Amino acid sequence: MKVKSALARSIAATLVFASGSVFAADVTKQQVVEHYADIAHAVFSDALTTAQALDTSIESFLNTPSEKNTR
């Protein structure tokens, strides 16, 4: 959920800045870089969490395989 929220905020911010509003002049290159770094961190953190959950599920299945676990 954090990633969806971060992406939604990112899209909203991009639309505001891309619309040519007066706020766009106040944004520095460093702020843009930091913003995209935050988004990248959120995406990769979510991917890591998902991969770890999958790894745990696989280990659980391999330790106690059953017909119920295969569905």
Distance from chain centroid for Cα 8: 10
Identify the residue with better confidence: 57 or 25. 57
| Per-residue pLDDT tens over the stretch 8-30 | 777 777 776 666 555 557 899 99
Helix 29-63 crosses helix 2-18 at what angle (to 10 degrees)? 160
| Per-residue pLDDT tens over the stretch 27-54 | 999 999 999 999 999 999 999 999 999 9
